[in-house]
Amino acid sequence: MERSVLSRALQHPQTWPTHHRRIPAYRPINRELDQSERRVYTSAGERMFLTIMFTGVQTEATLSQVWNATLGKVLGDTWFRYKIGGEW
């Protein structure tokens, strides 16, 4: 098919509904918003999952920093390195 035929086929009429895009109407910033009224978690399970996940991420970052500041300097890059897909 020619390019012009495809571009004409993809053009929608002006009355085509666009509410499916779920773009909300413009609202100015509410600078008086009370954050304590916001619902942060939808359930106890979601709160537990996020707490465990972010605690694990923080723990890994802390352990990495400690390792690189202590034994990582002494042992170099020989520990905790694995050959992946033909590296080395």
Model confidence pLDDT, tens digit, residues 13-59 = 788 777 767 777 788 888 888 888 888 888 999 999 999 999 999 99
Look up residue 2 and give its DSSP letter: -
Q: Residue 75: pLDDT band by 50, 70, 90 thresholds?
A: confident
Q: What is the largest distance, in Å, between two alpha-carbon atoms of the chain?
A: 70
d(CA 43, CA 35): 18
d(CA 88, CA 86): 6
Q: Going by C-beta distance under 8 Å and a sequence separation of 6 or more, which residues neighbour residue 40? A: 47
Q: What is the pLDDT of residue 34?
A: 87
Q: Residue 68: pLDDT band by 50, 70, 90 thresholds?
A: confident
Q: In this structure, are residues 12 and 18 in contact, taking their beta carbons and an 8 Å threshold? A: no
Residues recorded for the chain: 88
